[in-house]
């Protein structure tokens, strides 16, 4: 069985990467939005008959990784996953309201309350943010404007896969920057990357990313299949145990596994990047801070690493 991405999937990701490389400014919260909308990214999951590209989440994983690699600000994942249900195609932005919090709600044209799910009007109160590219708001629903024909679980599941893919992109960029710095920075007349201690740290990050990425791809496939299937029970139609207890479906288990692995890989990449760069890694003069902050904000989005690890452990071991 071949799980490799197709030339079309990788080609779309390359087109997104080219736009982000030329235009993306991590300090500008609306950076690249118009250019990527013209490319069709934000309507990629919308059916073709509704003006979108009709792609699946699996098709988009490499492209979403690129938005993480570029530390692109704004509600990228939220617009992608809610767009098909809200009828959004083009430049409009969407924020998801989950447990009273909505990320980048001040930039959003629509806010979707996943508890409905429904499009709502809200009253916003900004919360302290460690990542200036992902601003959280406490949101109080003032009015319900339109109920959406979408399972809330699908929205949250796909958003979690999306931020997991972004975490992989963030980790890849942090690794690339750390390797480049280790080759350029010298100590005792040699590049610091020549020392075993540095080599081993960078190798550990590379391994963590390569192990986590396939789990994100698998989770995207499971999320797509779950959206197509009416059967989301923990047990198969013939009554055989699929390995997950009642209440947590196989797709949810895959999504939690992906969020844990991607979050841990990105966290390791961030710690290693700080250690390799030394004190300069903390300073505002180095752009590394954008990817460090994105690691922390994405790791906390749609369930922390610890919360998803607990869900996965309960699914596998029942406790």
| CB contact burial 244-276 (16+ within 10 A = b; e otherwise) | bbeebbbbbbbbbbbbbbbbbbbbbbbebbbeb
Q: Do residues 72 and 63 touch, judged by C-beta distance below 8 A? A: no
CA distance linking residue 283 with residue 203, whole number of Å: 25
State yes or no: pLDDT of 313 exceeds 80.
Answer: yes
The β-bridge relationship of strands 190-191 and 118-126 is unpaired
Looking at the DSSP bridge assignments, the partners of residue 124 are: 139
E-strand ranges in 104-201 read 110-113, 118-126, 136-147, 186-187, 190-191
Residues 19-38, mean pLDDT to the nearest whole number:
91
pLDDT in tens, 168-194: 999 999 999 999 999 999 999 999 999
Distance of CA 181 to the CA centre of its chain: 26
Q: Do residues 141 and 122 touch, judged by C-beta distance below 8 A? A: yes
Please tell me the predicted confidence (pLDDT) of residue 15. Answer: 97
pLDDT band at 226 (very low <50, low <70, confident <90, very high): confident
| Token representation of residue 272 | 């290693």
CA distance linking residue 182 with residue 12, whole number of Å: 31
Please tell me the predicted confidence (pLDDT) of residue 89. Answer: 76
DSSP per residue over 18-67, as a string?
HHHHHH--TT-TTTTHHHHHHHTGGGTTS-GGGTS----HHHHHHHHHHH
State yes or no: pLDDT of 30 exceeds 50.
Answer: yes
Of 99 and 282, which is predicted with more confidence?
99
State yes or no: pLDDT of 301 exceeds 90.
Answer: yes
- The rounded radius of gyration (Å) of the Cα atoms in the chain is 20
pLDDT band at 319 (very low <50, low <70, confident <90, very high): low
State yes or no: pLDDT of 6 exceeds 60.
Answer: yes
């Amino acid at each position: 069985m071949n799980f490799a991405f197709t030339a079309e999937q990788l080609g779309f990701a390359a087109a997104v990467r080219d736009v982000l490389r030329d235009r993306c400014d991590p300090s500008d919260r609306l950076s690249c939005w118009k250019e990527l909308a013209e490319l069709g990214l934000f309507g990629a999951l919308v059916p073709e008959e509704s003006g979108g590209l009709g792609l699946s989440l699996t098709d988009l994983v490499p492209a979403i990784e690129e938005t993480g690699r570029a530390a692109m600000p704004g509600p990228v994942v939220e617009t992608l996953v809610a767009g098909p249900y809200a009828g959004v195609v083009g430049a409009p932005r969407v924020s998801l309201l989950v447990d009273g919090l909505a990320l980048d709600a001040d930039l959003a044209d629509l806010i979707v309350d996943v508890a409905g799910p429904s499009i709502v009007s809200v009253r916003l109160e900004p919360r302290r943010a460690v990542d200036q590219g992902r601003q959280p708001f406490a949101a109080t629903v003032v009015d319900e404007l339109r109920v959406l024909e979408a399972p809330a679980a699908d929205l949250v599941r796909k958003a979690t896969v999306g931020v997991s893919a972004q975490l992989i992109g963030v980790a890849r960029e942090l690794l690339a920057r750390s390797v480049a710095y280790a080759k350029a920075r010298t100590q005792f007349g040699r590049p610091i990357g020549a020392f075993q201690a540095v080599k081993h740290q960078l190798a550990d990050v590379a391994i963590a990313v390569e192990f986590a990425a396939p789990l994100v791809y698998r989770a995207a496939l499971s999320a797509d299949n779950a959206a197509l299937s009416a059967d989301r029970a923990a047990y198969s139609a013939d009554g055989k145990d699929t390995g997950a207890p009642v209440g947590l479906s196989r797709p949810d288990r895959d999504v939690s596994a992906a969020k844990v692995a991607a979050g841990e890989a990105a966290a390791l990449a961030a710690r290693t990047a700080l250690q390799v760069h030394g004190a300069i890694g903390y300073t505002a003069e180095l752009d590394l801070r954008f990817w460090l902050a994105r690691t922390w904000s994405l790791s906390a989005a749609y369930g922390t690493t610890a919360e998803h690890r607990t869900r996965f452990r309960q699914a596998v071991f029942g406790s």
